[in-house]
Amino acid sequence: MTHLEEEILQTKTETLKMFQLVIYQVENAYKAIFTRDAALAMSIKDREEQINRMELEIEKQVENVFALFNPVAIDLRFLLSILRIIYNLERIGDSTKSIAKFVIKKKFILDEDIINTIGLNEIYEAAFKSVLLAKEAFEKEDVKVAYRLAEKNSDLEEGCDDAQIKIADYIRRSPEKIDHGLSILSLIRKIERMEGQSRNIAREIIFYLEAKILRHQGKI
């Protein structure tokens, strides 16, 4: 294995560690929402700094590879994709931090009835699945998984659209609970962003893997 290949492997390993921490945050944010656990939410908020540090460390590692090895072709595509992948992972981490703040500040005005009516559990699980698929596609270098994820998630989009309609109706019927409705609407948007950032990661994986597949087929 060449020194460049060793650096590439190390960069992938560190990125997988960042994936794992972000997934841990997403999972805990899910638990915090449905248990109203303010202490858990606070731990998510505090752990966000670790994700930020990991992003900076991987960025520095990639910059060093550029400086030392001047990578080209497949290696260059991989490193460029890594920079965008870790950016989106950091953004997912930001979303979990926002959700944690939401739980800490809003835990006493969440209305159980509207949460169940809009299927918040299913919406979150769909977004969480997207993050897991992004990690799977990256770790296994599976372009089919990446393509499946990169496509618009119509089920989640329809679920979010339907939820917004139900929340609007909830506010019309119970105007005294407008804070409840707006809080849940804000939460849905945070969850939806995580799914969008996962699809961004999938596109970066495709950017790298498509060239790798072509190379293995002797086409480049």
Q: Rounded to whole angstroms, how far apart are CA atoms 162 and 103?
A: 23
One-letter amino acid for residue 72 of the chain: V
77's CB contacts (< 8 A; 6+ apart) are 207, 208, 211
Alpha-carbon gap, residue 71 to 77, rounded angstroms? 9
Task: Please choose, from the candidates 174, 169, 193, the residue with its C-alpha nearest in 3D space to the C-alpha of residue 99.
Answer: 193
Alpha-carbon 118 to chain mean position: 22
Sign, Cα dihedral of 76, 79, 83, 84: positive
The whole-number pLDDT of residue 184 equals 86
Contacts of 156 (CB under 8 A, 6+ apart): 123, 126, 127, 130, 192, 195
- The enclosing domain of 181 has a CATH number of 1.20.58.220
Total tally of structural domains belonging to the chain? 1
What's the pLDDT score for residue 212?
A: 60
Can you give the pLDDT of all 220 residues of the chain as single tens digits?
899 999 999 999 999 999 999 999 999 999 998 888 889 999 999 999 999 999 999 999 999 999 999 998 889 999 999 999 999 999 999 999 999 988 888 655 567 778 888 999 999 999 999 999 999 999 999 999 999 998 877 778 888 889 989 989 988 988 888 887 888 888 899 999 999 999 999 999 999 988 765 445 554 4
pTM: 0.91
Domain that holds residue 204: 3-216
How confident is the model at residue 109, as a pLDDT? Answer: 59
